[in-house]
């Protein structure tokens, strides 16, 4: 009888090769205890955390923890239903209003995860007679949303508004609705999208634009609303999607828009309609960290200074690193063997980062993905740079 698991044999062989060569299974690393936003216990020892996406360090917010505890006492631990059934509490409506007001938009929808926000919005907006234009380096949630949609999907070159414009013009379908999807900061490389230029293409081609600000929310812009705010074109973006699991330190996703029809999607968006809603403690904690983020704009300054510090250190070491300064700093390597050896040595020396291997990487080369926090100290960043130097030498990346 054919095995349903035979399609994964290559993955099993790859993981086995890593372990038998003395390495770790990169997907089995466990943070046994959090000591602070920047340190935790891994394999029984204190480890610097440079791979958590906890950009503002708010996952350890005392205010959020207190509000979450109070919410559990008041509402219980879960909702046991979807938003269109019994899963809408007053807390959900309040958070949606807070998010909409923060972005200065008419409406907001809150989802149970950021993944579901993309899956739901893209599949509900783009139908069988529509066209969907995706950046080639889009996140898996965007691609999965396009698969759930019945729209015709066309990819354009990464961060290339000119290529997008040519593809739309070549299509020559003025009567069909068109949705362009880009990200603010790309999660693997830290590349920042030229949103102003994409807005120009959107207007020229009479298209709609959805921007996923998952990694730029709380990070860029005068108020932390993302790349669209930083580029001064928020009012030209039709839909902004994001997540609470990065800068706000919790879990969940959202979409904000000025389109008054947004509320109709609640009855046409399957990942919203058929998923249990976020539990009260998560909603309360998210509301608390949103307020904390707004009350402490200096966190964004600390974050970007730390990102520049880490990137500069990698450049000085001669590592092939991200071209732009963002909270995502990637070190690209030439071979998987180098990446695996270096990642293991980093963890041996007390620094945790993300190991990303093809085909999950944009250009089929492995990379070590670091995420910086506002709460990292200068000494911690210097320590991480020093450990990277030792690991890179051992892996033969630098001499």
Residue 172 sits in the same domain as residue 284: yes
- Residue 237 sits in a domain of what CATH number? 3.40.640.10
Are residues 282 and 301 part of one domain?
no
Q: Do residue 261 and residue 357 come from a single domain?
A: no
Residues 276, 349, single domain; the answer is no
**Does residue 54 form part of some domain?**
no
The pLDDT of residue 399 is 86
Query: What confidence score (pLDDT) does residue 136 get?
Result: 96
Mean pLDDT per 10-residue interval, the chain, length 399 residues: 90 83 84 97 98 97 98 97 96 98 98 98 96 97 96 97 97 92 96 98 97 98 98 98 98 97 94 97 98 98 98 97 95 92 96 90 91 98 98 94
For residue 18, the model assigns a pLDDT of: 80
- The C-alpha angle 158, 163, 164, rounded to 5 degrees, equals 85
From its phi and psi, is residue 232 left (phi > 0), alpha (psi between -120 and 50) or beta?
left
The residue out of 295, 328, 360 marking a domain boundary is 295
Give yes or no: residues 192 and 211 share one domain.
yes
Burial of 130 (0-12, 13-18, 19+ CB in 10 A): middle
Q: Do 281 and 139 fall within a single domain?
A: yes
57: in domain:
no
> What's this model's pTM, rounded to 2 decimal places?
0.95
Among 295, 327, 358, give the residue marking a domain's end. Answer: 295
Specify the pLDDT at position 12.
Answer: 87
Are 89 and 224 contained in the same domain?
yes
Please tell me the predicted confidence (pLDDT) of residue 328.
Answer: 97
Query: What pLDDT does 208 receive?
Result: 98
| pLDDT for 252 | 98
- 256 in a domain, yes or no? yes
Please count the structural domains in the chain: 2
């Amino acid at each position: 009888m054919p095995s349903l698991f035979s399609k994964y044999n290559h993955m099993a062989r790859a993981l086995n090769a890593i372990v038998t060569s003395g390495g770790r299974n990169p997907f089995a690393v466990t943070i046994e205890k959090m000591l602070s936003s920047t340190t935790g216990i891994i394999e029984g020892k204190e480890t610097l955390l440079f791979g958590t996406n906890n950009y503002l360090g708010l996952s350890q917010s005392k205010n959020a923890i207190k509000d979450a505890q109070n919410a559990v006492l008041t509402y219980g631990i879960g909702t046991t239903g979807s938003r269109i059934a019994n899963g809408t509490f007053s807390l959900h409506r309040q958070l949606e209003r807070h998010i909409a007001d923060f972005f200065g938009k008419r409406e907001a929808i809150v989802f149970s995860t950021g993944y579901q926000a993309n899956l739901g919005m893209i599949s509900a907006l783009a139908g069988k007679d529509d066209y969907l234009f995706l950046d080639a380096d889009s996140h898996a949630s965007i691609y999965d949303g396009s698969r759930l949609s019945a729209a015709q999907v066309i990819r354009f070159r990464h961060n290339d508004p000119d290529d997008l414009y040519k593809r739309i013009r070549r299509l020559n379908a003025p009567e069909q609705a068109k949705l362009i999807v880009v990200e603010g900061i790309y999660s693997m490389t830290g590349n920042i999208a030229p949103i102003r230029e994409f807005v120009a293409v959107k207007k020229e081609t009479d298209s709609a634009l959805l921007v996923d600000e998952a990694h730029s929310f709380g990070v860029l812009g005068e108020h932390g609303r993302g790349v669209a705010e930083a580029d001064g074109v928020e009012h030209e973006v039709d839909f902004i999607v994001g997540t609470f699991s990065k800068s706000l330190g919790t879990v969940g996703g959202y979409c904000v828009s000025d389109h008054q029809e947004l509320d109709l999607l609640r009855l046409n968006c399957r990942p919203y309609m058929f998923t249990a809603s976020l539990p009260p403690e998560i909603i309360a904690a998210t509301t608390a960290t949103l307020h904390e983020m707004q009350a402490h704009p200096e966190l964004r300054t600390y974050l970007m200074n730390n990102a520049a510090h880490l990137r500069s250190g990698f450049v000085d070491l001669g590592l092939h690193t991200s071209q732009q300064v963002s909270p995502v700093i990637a070190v690209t390597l030439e071979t998987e063997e180098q990446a695996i050896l270096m990642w293991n040595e980093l963890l041996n020396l007390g620094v945790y980062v993300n190991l990303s291997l093809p085909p999950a990487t944009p250009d089929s080369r492995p990379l070590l993905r670091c995420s910086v926090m506002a709460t990292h100290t200068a000494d911690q960043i210097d320590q991480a740079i020093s450990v990277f130097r030792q690991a890179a030498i051992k892996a033969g990346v630098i001499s």
